[in-house]
Amino acid sequence: ERSSSTFSFSSYHTIEEIYDWIDNFASENSNLVSKIQIGQSYEQRPLLVLKFSTGGSNRSAVWIDTGIHSREWITHATGLWTANQIVSEYGKDPVLTSILDTLDIFLEIVTNPDGFAYTHSEDRMWRKTRSINPGSSCSGVDANRNWDSNFGGTGSSDDACSDDYHGPSPHSEVEVKSIVDFVLGHGNIKAWISIHSFSQLLMFPYGYKLELTPDHQELNDLAREAVKVLTTKYGTEYTYGSISSTIYQASGTSIDWAYDNGIKYSFTFELRDTGEHGFMLPASEIIPTAEETWPALLTIIDHARHHPY
């Protein structure tokens, strides 16, 4: 019998290994963790979400997803470490303990499983989903241009061969639609954190327009605080701000959709970049990356907990 305690968080893993780990992790920590299947990917892989909860019904909750862009392996690895950290630190870390005593956390570690499997078997640099595009020889949709937030606008492509292809319609990708249905069905998600890599950024809405959100000042202050605690750990420097003002205009992204659907605390991380390896971040950097991200996550979640709306 395998145990999740022998799992190495300092290595990259295949999707089979990750799914095995999720099974074991949920069963070994059933007092705190449950595994939820929110749908099936285009290639029929289960879309799994870990729910961390200490009880209650339909508590306010936090959504975290990692790996929507499949080649960004450090995000999946950070998701795994983070899941384990939540269980390890509950009852020890007073901030996390307080959070989990009032909020639930939902964590989707492999948000784009078909793309992730494809990065292991065919093309290490694959970013999109693996759905077939009728009339094109190119497969896949950029799942972070597929959300119903100014869908098809600036910063997305209508070329199916592009890495930024927005897809035929909003939520055409089952990987996206499954999250939309789950989150809307839940109805009480108060914070949303989508984790990407690797440009060392912490961003918030809007991406699809240059205008500031009504909550800009609060989100900006919170991002500054989160970046500050992240940098404290290893000195990794982050830039923060709205997506459109920080780097580019991008339409159809998850955090804009979340914000426009009433989730005020919507953020997206771009994790560590050594400036030497990009997506090929050495496995030795997995744990430092996850460790420095952790206090930033807690900062955002704790702020959401203290500022109900």
* Catalytic machinery residues: 270
220/239 Cα distance (integer angstroms): 11
Q: Does 54 bind other proteins (CB under 8 A)?
A: no
Q: Does 280 bind other proteins (CB under 8 A)?
A: yes
Q: Does 283 bind other proteins (CB under 8 A)?
A: yes
Q: Does 46 bind other proteins (CB under 8 A)?
A: no
Interface of this chain with other proteins, residues 90 to 129, rule: CB under 8 A: 121-125
Binding mask 196-235 for other proteins (x = CB under 8 A): --xx------------------------------------
Binding mask 157-176 for other proteins (x = CB under 8 A): ----x-x-------------
Q: Does 20 bind other proteins (CB under 8 A)?
A: no
Q: Which lies closer to other proteins via its Cβ, residue 281 or residue 304?
A: 281
Q: Which lies closer to other proteins via its Cβ, residue 114 or residue 273?
A: 273
Q: List C-alpha distances in Å: 87 to 37, 83, 98, 105.
A: 20, 7, 13, 11
Q: Which window, 104-112, 139-147, 228-236, 279-287, contacts other proteins (CB under 8 A)?
A: 279-287
Q: Does 8 bind other proteins (CB under 8 A)?
A: yes
- Interface ranges with other proteins (CB under 8 A): 8, 10-14, 17, 121-125, 161, 163, 198-199, 247-248, 273, 275-280, 282-283
